[in-house]
Amino acid sequence: MSHFFISYSRRDMEIADQFVNSLAEMGMDVWVDREDIKVGNSWREQIVEAIDTCDAFVLILSSNSAASTNVHKEVILAQDSARPTYVVMLEVVRLPAAIRYQLAGLQFINVPLLGFEKSAQILIDALKPYLKKKTDKESQKQTELVIQGIDLSAFDAEKQQQLLAFVASLANTDTAQLSIANMTAGSVHVFMDMPSAAAYQLKALALNADPRFKQLGIVSLRITGNTLFVHTANGALDPSPIPIQTFFSSLFGRIVTIFAALLILAGLTTFMPPRMTPIASDPAVTWSATPTIPTLTETPSATATQTPTQTATPTETPTPTATPVVYEIMNAVVANERIACNYGPGNLYLNDEALRQGIKLQALGRDINSGWAYVQADGYPSPCWVNLEYITLDGEIENLEPLYPGKVKLPPSNFWPPPQNVYSIRSKTDGSKLSIYWDALILEPGDMESANAPRYLLELWLCKDGELTFTPIFAWNNNVVVDDEAGCSEPSSGVIYISEKHGYPGPVVIPWTPHP
């Protein structure tokens, strides 16, 4: 039977139970932690198995759950076992670093905007497809155990039996139900078949950093199908099978051993490192701006011979070839006393640097509308965009390569969710008017670049006079109306971002309503 796992903070139990009841009324099997099974940050195999085997994972997101380390780990476990994840947002919160990656790009159900009834219905509709999926519970699982401090060649039959007996005692199962399917080197990786309950018991013990794993040098484990290893020393989830501190301590020990052996063999009392010869850098490649012109060799005229009939030979017309466009990188200098250097080509894009008069620049390209240049300033870490009116450019603007939109991207941010529930409506009375809507996201003042900074950025390709025109629009409210005519050979389109001081959450493609 399919089931859905609900992750929430106990401080939000009342609203979480309302969602649980709404799902249950629709005949959905919901797994919710109604018992205090994580007291003292302790995990039981029931919750580990419930997350690993759920058909979908639902996070009730609030300031309470965002601050809960247990909720963080539940989200990571769900992502580790590739569970579809849905987020019910009780309030606008900054996504915590621990789960920012796992939640990036997901659509959130915005309860303050939609209200409880509509939010619950949207969640029910999202989960309904999983009700058709009936799967038998797997009776067997394979678990990968990583053992350090022993070579594979030394892991003989006796040690294998010791490991089987050890795992049987940890997982409260019979040794006869366990078998070693495979072993590989690089530390010793033992792939062991076992009952599912035993596998989840082991994973729960590892999440709880059970000290008994140290007895046989088991540093991490994972259930086959999961992507992350559980480090037994601290319960951390990580793609690496060897904890970084263990790896470096082991590596350091080997280096010390080799170093000592060198001293003994060489009979040295001091060790002088070999002198390092600096590597010469490759000479710079010089590009010639002058095209190579082939030399024409004059062919002597043939001696005329009188013939009865003179045949005219038609002159062959050469086929014109397209000349490739060669763009330049130009020198420039800041002409005004102090100018903004932004992340995008416009005054309302987020500010990256402030450049003072006289700073030398390399102009690398321009925006498609030729109003801003993408420059690298001397002594600054990265390129940014400056208004061409405020610099002196050593060359023609048209000779700079168009880089935006397309080749230069806005800095992404996953501190906040991307825009939610974006849609568009075209006016029936005037087909050239298109309204674009999305859920409002009210950020705290400290998360904006300034009190008057726009909250949203829309980058649109709009049809005007038969041509698509790139049009950035900055918005303070959660809707805009744009002019988008018919008659272009390609369809109009656009994306939307949140604009906050760390960067741009998004983009989200705008569903574009076509012309009638």
Is the pLDDT at 200 greater than 70? The verdict is: yes
pLDDT at 286: 28
Residue matched to tokens 């991307």: 418
How far apart CA 110 and CA 108 sit, in angstroms, is: 6
Is the pLDDT at 252 greater than 70? The verdict is: no
CB neighbour list of residue 14: distance below 8 Å, 6 or more residues apart: none
Flag the least confident range among 17-21, 88-92, 414-418: 414-418
How far apart CA 195 and CA 143 sit, in angstroms, is: 10
pLDDT class of 278 with cuts at 50, 70, 90: very low
Cα end-to-end span (Å), the chain: 46
Q: What is the DSSP letter of 344?
A: S
Is the pLDDT at 282 greater than 70? The verdict is: no
CA distances from 481 to 425, 426, 452, 462 (A): 9, 9, 21, 12
Is the pLDDT at 75 greater than 90? The verdict is: yes
Is the pLDDT at 16 greater than 60? The verdict is: yes
Rank 69-73, 92-96, 294-298 by mean pLDDT and report only the highest: 69-73
Residue matched to tokens 């007996």: 165
How is the beta sheet containing 237-238 ordered, strand by strand?
A: 179-184, 188-195, 140-147, 218-223, 229-231, 237-238
Count of CB atoms within 10 A of residue 185's CB?
10
CB–CB of 90/112 below 8 Å?
Answer: yes
pLDDT at 363: 94
pLDDT class of 150 with cuts at 50, 70, 90: confident
Using CB atoms within 10 Å of the CB of residue 325, give its burial: 0 to 12 exposed, 13 to 18 middle, 19+ buried.
exposed
349-365 confidence digits (pLDDT tens): 999 889 999 999 999 99
How far apart CA 13 and CA 22 sit, in angstroms, is: 14
pLDDT class of 42 with cuts at 50, 70, 90: low
pLDDT at 360: 95
CB–CB of 45/203 below 8 Å?
Answer: yes
Is the pLDDT at 309 greater than 50? The verdict is: no
Residue matched to tokens 């801003």: 372
pLDDT at 17: 92
pLDDT at 72: 92
pLDDT at 259: 43
Is the pLDDT at 179 greater than 80? The verdict is: yes
What mean pLDDT do residues 9-26 have?
92
pLDDT class of 448 with cuts at 50, 70, 90: confident
pLDDT at 246: 47
pLDDT class of 288 with cuts at 50, 70, 90: very low
pLDDT at 385: 95
CB neighbour list of residue 234: distance below 8 Å, 6 or more residues apart: 209, 243
CA distances from 389 to 296, 328, 383, 511 (A): 46, 19, 18, 36
pLDDT at 316: 54
CB neighbour list of residue 347: distance below 8 Å, 6 or more residues apart: 340, 387
Strand locations in 39-84 (E): 56-61
Question: Mean pLDDT across the chain, nearest whole number?
Answer: 81
What mean pLDDT do residues 52-65 have?
93
CB neighbour list of residue 73: distance below 8 Å, 6 or more residues apart: 207, 237
Is the pLDDT at 443 greater than 80? The verdict is: no
User: 330-334 and 360-367 as β-strands: parallel, antiparallel, unpaired?
Assistant: antiparallel
pLDDT at 267: 45
Is the pLDDT at 273 greater than 60? The verdict is: no
pLDDT at 264: 40
pLDDT at 352: 86
pLDDT class of 247 with cuts at 50, 70, 90: very low
Q: What is the DSSP letter of 410?
A: P
pLDDT at 1: 54
Peptide bond into 241 cis (omega under 30): no
pLDDT at 32: 87
406-438 confidence digits (pLDDT tens): 899 999 888 888 888 899 999 888 889 999 999
pLDDT at 70: 87
pLDDT at 377: 94
pLDDT at 112: 86
What mean pLDDT do residues 230-249 have?
76
CA quadruple 400, 405, 407, 412: dihedral, nearest 10: 130
pLDDT class of 133 with cuts at 50, 70, 90: low
pLDDT class of 132 with cuts at 50, 70, 90: low
How much is the pTM? 0.58
pLDDT at 46: 86
